Amino acid sequence: MILIQIALRNLLTHKIKSAIVGGLLIFAAFLIIAGLSLISSIDKSMSKSIVNSVAGHIQLQEKGAKDELSIFGQMGSNEIGYIHNFAEIRKAIEAMPEVAAVVPMGIDSSIVFGGNVLDVKLEALRNAVKAGDQKQSAVIRRHVRRMVALLDDELKNLKGFSDQEKMSDDMKQGLLDVAEANQPKFWDSFDADPYAHLEFLENKIAKMAIGEDMLMLRYVGTDTERFRKVFDRFEMVDGQMIPPGQRGFLFNKFTYEEQVKHKTARRLDKIKDRLAEGAKVATDDEIKQWIKLNRTQYKEITFQLDDVATDEVKAALQAELQSKESDMAKLVDAFMDVSDANFQKRYDLFYKVIAPRIRLYSIRMGDTMTINGFSQSGYATTVNVKVYGTFRFHGLDRSTMAGAFNILDLMTYRDLLGYMTADKKAEIAKLQAQSGVKELKRDTAEAELFGEGGGEQVEDTTNATPTQAAAATPTDAPAEATPAAIAGNAPLSGAKLMAKELEGHVYSQEEIDGGVIRSAAIMLKPDFDVKTGMEKVSALIAAKKFALKPLDWRAASGLVGNFVGVIYAVLAFSIFIIFLVSLVIINNSLVMSTLERTREIGTMRAIGAQRSEILQMFMVEAVVMAGVFGAIGCTFGYALVAYFGHFGLLASNDFMIFLSGGPRFYPALPPWGLPVAMLAVLIVTLISTLYPAWLAMRITPLAAMQDSE
């Protein structure tokens, strides 16, 4: 107790030294508390973001694959291997008490063309002609004629900048076709043969039209119903869920808004969001750029408006702008020149008047979308699939990383991958039967093609179900479809009919589980941690001799999953530097303090104090300093963490939204945080005190007397 009193007296006596040492210890303790809270909370939040959205706790891939699965780094079909016996694997792993579910999946990217406005208008014109609606037909025809005239002008400008000698024959012919469609006589003769004119416009002119959106979509091919049930961050936003067992596509709401929505509308949405965050039109450079694009790209709106819509929009804009200007281009330009004062009013007017009269989304709910991909052999694959709706991962609405994943049914995914599914075999068999194609054997192919032969005729499966067709062409394992097998000579109507049949076909769980997959996600039950789950799953894989490689969610997430490790390393290095500096400064301060106390220490030695007691006195002083100042630093750190843990920190960008698991970050101190911080402060203080204590033990009464003289 006496030593503690002496330690406290010394702290009060040497105020400057105590302030320097104390400030360093307070800052060190504060940094440890804040850093541990930050890392622990990010680790927990990111775990929820990744595990509960797409990865699961554990991912399975083929053992011995050339590439390691990287959910967030994988673009396209990397060589991560294939899992063929998934049904058996799922049954064995889901029987484990630690496992909640196993979800088949595969991640890939493909190209989708969103179509252009001219295609949409020509389809509407054909429907009006077919229905005999002369009034509607006349309105749409005038719009199409104006669009063709604008297209002709655009191509003439392009022609002036291009080297016509290097222009392809198809391009040259296209320019001539557009010029022909822009002639009055073409439209004067429209009523005489509308369908011939429509075919010319659809086949010759529409392909020349600019404005077709090319979307690069990343998707997870999966058992959509199982995915919905297992990943609790998944929730529908628009449209409807893909019916269980059926083919379909779901857009991530983030992707749908960023890539599929009309560009002008999307820029207005972004301006609104930015203003809601406190930005100002007058000072935000990015908002100014969005406004500039909306003003200069007025054709994105005017190109889509027919005569009736143009008159209605013109009247609304004239009223808003209090202008008598009749030129739509100038009106739209002026309307898009928004400010802080008028933005909300014009935003509301855009969605009330303009948005209903343009194609707000290039792909809409219920549309059949054509996905263009590449098989593992490198040839092109094309699949039509219905778009059912949009979804989001709850709390990750604005995250670019989470928003990159769309959802595709597993059967369509296999078609794009180039693997033969049962219904694909049925489709090919049906097309072959309709077109009279025969299957040739290698040894009789020459005789069949160039003479009389006895090649086998493919069994007629025109009326067969997908399962029956598969039985007619059995295979031991999913066989990759060849380009020749997929490219039939059947009429287009037959292909469309088959596609429609596939769209409505309901697959059994055996069919879904029975084909090839690229990876599988394992979701553990709440009572089990990832480490335990990995050990159990690895043991089962070894016992069953499955050719699988398990990865925990960190390893499967690639660089994203290891991001917390990077933060740990940065924090540890920062603390090490701070402690190193603190150690030197504290050591110097204590050395100076020791030299100032030579007389005091010598006197204590003269009245009988042993060296061990001097050492104890310095160590007690170090413990008191660490306890007092460490406690102050921990208190400040804990108070700050508690404050932001209650109110949250706004995630500043999309990546931080993903890391924090939502738009706000709520730090929390782990239970072991305070003891670790106090122990670290104590250790650095004791180490800093060792040399001054050693100097103090060497002081003799004689030295003290000489110092006093």
Cβ atoms 530, 550 nearer than 8 A = no
Model pLDDT for residues 87-104, shown as the tens digit of each residue: 999 999 999 999 999 999
Per-residue model confidence (pLDDT) at position 457: 38
Q: Are residues 268 and 181 in the same domain?
A: no
Helix/strand/coil percent split, the chain, to 5: 60, 10, 25
Torsion over CA: 186, 187, 192, 198 (sign):
positive
Cα separation, 198 vs 629, whole angstroms: 84
pLDDT mean over 484-495: 36
* Neighbour tally for 698: CB within 10 Å: 10
Q: What is the pLDDT of residue 310?
A: 92
Buried b (16+ CB within 10 A) or exposed e, 499-528: beebeebebeeebbbbbbbbbbbbbbeeeb
In a domain, 79, yes or no: no
Regarding beta strands 99-113 and 519-524, do their DSSP bridges make them parallel or antiparallel, or are they unpaired? antiparallel
Higher-confidence residue: 383 or 291?
Answer: 291
Which of 303, 337, 360 finishes a domain?
360
Using the predicted structure, report yes or no on whether residue 465 has a pLDDT greater than 60.
Answer: no
Per-residue pLDDT, 391: 96
42 with 162, same domain?
no
- Residue 547: what are its φ and ψ, rounded to 5°? -85, 65
Burial 550-564 (b: 16+ CB within 10 A, else e): bbbbbbbbbebbebb
Backbone φ, ψ for residue 544 (5° rounding): -85, -10
Of the two residues 703 and 286, the one the predictor is more confident about is 286
Beta bridge partners of 521: 59, 103
Task: Using pLDDT thresholds of 50, 70 and 90, give the confidence band for residue 224.
Answer: very high
Distance of alpha carbon 86 from alpha carbon 93, whole angstroms: 10
Q: What is the mean pLDDT of residues 335-357?
A: 95
56-65, 326-335, 386-395, 666-675: which has the minimum mean pLDDT?
A: 666-675
pLDDT tens profile 537-549: 999 999 999 999 9
Instruction: State the pLDDT at residue 692.
Output: 78
Comparing 245 with 375, which gets the higher pLDDT?
245
pLDDT cut 90: percent of the chain above it:
37
What is the total residue count of the chain? 709
Chain centroid to CA 520: how far? 19
pLDDT score at 544: 93
Does the residue 394 lie in any domain? no
Check whether residue 679 and residue 580 sit in a common domain.
yes
According to the model, what pLDDT value does residue 469 have?
41
Q: How far is the C-alpha of 274 from the C-alpha of 277, rounded, in Å?
A: 5
Judge whether residue 593 has pLDDT over 60.
Answer: yes
The model's pLDDT over 508-523, given as tens digits with 9 standing for 90+, comes to 999 999 888 999 999 9
Phi and psi at residue 211, to the nearest 5°? 100, 5
What is the model's pTM?
0.73
How far apart, in whole angstroms, are the C-alpha atoms of residue 491 and residue 38? 62
Of the three residues 146, 174, 208, the one that is the final residue of a domain is 208
Residue pointed to by tokens 């005017």:
302
The burial class, CB within 10 Å (0-12 / 13-18 / 19+), for 325 is middle
Q: Angle at the Cα of 227 (from 222 to 230), degrees rounded to 5?
A: 150
Q: Are residues 592 and 679 in the same domain?
A: yes
Share of the chain above pLDDT 70, in %: 79
Say whether pLDDT at 229 is over 60: yes
Parallel, antiparallel, or unpaired: how do β-strands 380-393 and 214-222 relate? unpaired
pLDDT tens figures, 395-446: 777 777 778 899 999 999 998 888 765 555 666 666 666 666 666 555 555 5
Q: Is it the case that residue 241 has pLDDT exceeding 70?
A: yes
26, 214, 310, 325, 340 from 318: Cα distances, Å: 65, 35, 12, 7, 20
How far apart CA 658 and CA 46 sit, in angstroms, is 7
Rounded to whole angstroms, the Cα distance separating 17 from 585 reads 10
The whole-number average pLDDT for the span 557-581 is 75
Distance CA 10, CA 32 (A): 27
Instruction: Give me the pLDDT at residue 12, please.
Output: 67
pLDDT for position 17: 73
Which three-class secondary structure string do you get for 558-615? CCCCCHHHHHHHHHHHHHHHHHHHHHHHHHHHHHHHHHHCHHHHHHHHHCCCCHHHHH
Grade residue 599 by pLDDT with cuts at 50, 70 and 90.
confident
Return the pLDDT at 615. Answer: 79
Mean pLDDT estimate for the chain: 81
Q: Which is higher by pLDDT, 430 or 37?
A: 37
My answer on whether 703 and 578 are in the same domain is yes
What string of DSSP letters covers 382-446?
EEEEEEEEEEEETT-TT-HHHHT-EEEEHHHHHHHHTB--HHHHHHHHHHHHHHT-----GGGHH
| 622: number of Cβ within 10 Å | 24
Binned at pLDDT 50, 70 and 90, residue 501 comes out as low
Regarding whether 167 and 269 lie in a shared domain, the answer is no
CA dist 167 to 26, 148, 172, Å? 73, 21, 7
* Kind of pairing between the strands at 214-222 and 406-409: parallel
Alpha-carbon span 399 to 662, nearest angstrom: 8
Please name every residue paired with 219 in a beta bridge, in sequence order, or none if there are none: 108, 406
Q: In terms of pLDDT, which residue wins out, 266 or 484?
A: 266
What pLDDT is attached to residue 74? 57
Is the pLDDT at 491 greater than 50? The verdict is no
Provide the number of structural domains found in the chain.
3
Residue 245: strand pairing partners: none
pLDDT at 350: 97
Identify the domain containing residue 623 by its residue range: 2-48+562-708
The reply to whether 485 falls in a domain is no
Q: Is pLDDT larger for residue 48 or for residue 245?
A: 245
**pLDDT band for position 166 (cuts 50, 70, 90):** low
Is residue 297 assigned to a domain? yes
pLDDT score for 125 = 92
Clarify whether residues 577 and 697 are in a common domain. Answer: yes
Q: Count other C-beta atoms under 10 Å from residue 422's C-beta.
A: 22
3-state secondary structure of 696: helix
pLDDT higher than 50, residue 284 = yes
Does residue 460 lie in a domain region?
Answer: no
Do 192 and 273 lie in one domain? The reply is: no
Domain stops at, among 343, 360, 377: 360
Do residue 279 and residue 193 come from a single domain? no
- Residues 158 and 27 both lie in one domain: no
With vertex at residue 549, the alpha carbon angle to CA 76 and CA 108, rounded to the nearest 5 degrees, is 15
573 class by beta-carbon count within 10 Å (0-12 exposed, 13-18 middle, 19+ buried)? exposed
Residue 674 sits in the same domain as residue 570: yes
Q: What is the pLDDT of residue 75?
A: 53
pLDDT reading at 696 higher than 80: no
Q: Is the separation of the CB atoms in 385 and 199 below 8 Å?
A: no
Parallel, antiparallel or unpaired: strands 380-393 and 249-252: parallel
pLDDT of residue 473: 37
Backbone angles phi, psi at 115, to 5 degrees: 80, 170
Is 616 in the same domain as 699?
yes
Q: Is residue 442 part of a domain?
A: no
Q: How far apart are CA 555 and CA 275, in angstroms?
A: 39
**What confidence score (pLDDT) does residue 578 get?**
74
Domain-located, residue 555: no
List pLDDT tens digits, range 109-164: 888 876 677 888 888 899 999 999 999 999 899 999 988 888 888 787 766 555 55
Asked whether residue 165 is domain-assigned, the answer is yes
